[in-house]
Structure 1
């Protein structure tokens, strides 16, 4: 049996399409576990309408307070009966051959703990973009890609052997962003030989791209905060280890990508986060004294509120001089 775990929060209309895509599967030995994270009662009532005639659908309600999709996914796996598990977000879809294709790869091969498949992007109508989410890397470069924020795949791409997912330790419930790179990195560190990449097969699911206004403060707050926590966790747990030494350049580059792509132009908005980033850079022991000076001095000068400095347009110049 394959357990499909769906975290949910106030998306019942989109969830209906996700559930229908599972009912349409050519492979029928499945169960669905929906784990709700405190949705409004109207939303819960709507979900009950969807699932009441399908015995393979189960709705679990997480205890408050709201903890995010990682906690929901972990709770789903705790209650899963299947030998294998697939994670599906409530706004995404499976193609009708998805579970069949995945089972044929992993079902009779006990050496595989996680098999990864291609994801097709869409916005409103499945097939409207005809682009692929995944990026292709050699096995030895996968960890570095996750560290540099060039994620080779997303949460929906793998089918897991449930026992291997539990061995890896599940999702980190403290990470509301970056939880899937963290999980997949731990899977690679646990046993990379249990990974099978199946990019020779057709994309078997749809990932919905939302055109939200990403200039909003909340998006950048979470993007910056949880990237800092992601790298802080790596520094605290791995500093001095073989993994840390082998991937120090990728960890370093990932931190610089965080500064250059997210934090630099928003320092005045998120000064406390920049202080956390500064501590992280120092504790990582991956930067020379000169590089740290360039990071802190150039960022401070470039973001200074002095009107004369603003007129001199130093912000762009300082950005170009930052370590890359």
Structure 2
């Protein structure tokens, strides 16, 4: 059902969908309401079983900028595979990922395109807020905002989520994905692994201080399942961590601070042997490994006391 005759658009919106018939129409209408109109929206169905195609058919028939595809067998099932398929189909100069149940600000595309076209930068990051239940359409149309640049020096902040990169809160130039794609076996933290990899490849960007996207919160989201100790999501996070470390070693960007951060994280995943896997990757000397083991054991020793202290402070307050 793809439209093969559409001229090359400026922006390619890639939307993976799976059983979101109750929300996707509202998301597509919010795309139609963009102040910037030179776009295509590539919808990739990941094998859903609800009536998504029936509810979006009226939009597909009336607006040729929307194109619907079913993920084919060359891409693994899941969000990363669908997005990689979308990237291969995309014709635009700029790429952006939207979810099938969220609401982009009407100026989303306009402001990002403006930023990317006037500076030697490769991506535009912006603020994403969340909402529960019905969305309230009360947008701020101001174009006055602050901004700052992002490059390799910010990778540590990205990894530690001090500078969070939500998958739907960045517009990219297509060059960023020529050699960088989502790891399709990851079922969690796929963008957390990919986006620092792109920045580590030398692609600089800008972050603007304006909310341009609104994410609908669900209990059955990937993030919700991860914090509910879903083993598939947790194993994916482990693999994402190891992929991040491998990339930083390759790019010679792995710092002591980042190593200690991952060692700290590894104490929460003892059943996955994450500490041992990190040590194997680092290929340090026996002495360096011994120091990391001491650091690891000291964290494990202190954590129960921190937990008790936190509970006591909570009671006192």
Tell me the TM-score normalized by structure 1. 0.75
Residue matched to 2:312 = none
**Match runs of 1:266-281 below 5 Å:** 271=271, 273=272, 275=273, 277-281=274-278
Matches of 1:33 and 1:170, distance apart in 2: 17
Residue matched to 1:143 = 155
Q: Unmatched 5+ residue regions in structure 2?
A: 1-9, 140-147, 309-317
Matches of 1:204 and 1:237, distance apart in 2: 30
From 34, 44, 58, the equivalent of 1:25 is: 34
**Match runs of 1:134-283 below 5 Å:** 139=151, 142-167=154-179, 169-192=180-203, 194-199=204-209, 202-212=210-220, 214=224, 219-239=229-249, 242-244=252-254, 247-260=255-268, 263=269, 271=271, 273=272, 275=273, 277-283=274-280
Displacement of 1:140 after TM fit? 5.7
From 112, 116, 124, the equivalent of 1:106 is: 116
Matches of 1:16 and 1:315, distance apart in 2: 47
Displacement of 1:45 after TM fit? 3.1
Contact 1:121/1:207 (CA < 8 Å) preserved in 2? yes
Change in 2 beyond 3 A, CA 1:319/1:293? farther
Q: Unmatched 5+ residue regions in structure 1?
A: 131-135, 303-313
Residue matched to 2:142 = none
> CA-atom RMSD, angstroms?
3.4
Report Cα offsets for 1:234-259 as digits up to 9, x if no partner: 34444375212xx2312321341353
Matches of 1:171 and 1:61, distance apart in 2: 18
- Counterpart of 2:293 in 1: which secondary structure? helix
Contact 2:126/2:207 (CA < 8 Å) preserved in 1? yes
Tell me the TM-score normalized by structure 2. 0.76
Residue matched to 1:82 = 92
Report Cα offsets for 1:148-180 as digits up to 9, x if no partner: 24452211111111123324x122222221111
Query: Size of the alignment, in residue pairs?
Result: 285
Change in 2 beyond 3 A, CA 1:51/1:218? farther
Report Cα offsets for 1:97-122 as digits up to 9, x if no partner: 1111112111344x221111222222
Residue matched to 2:62 = 53
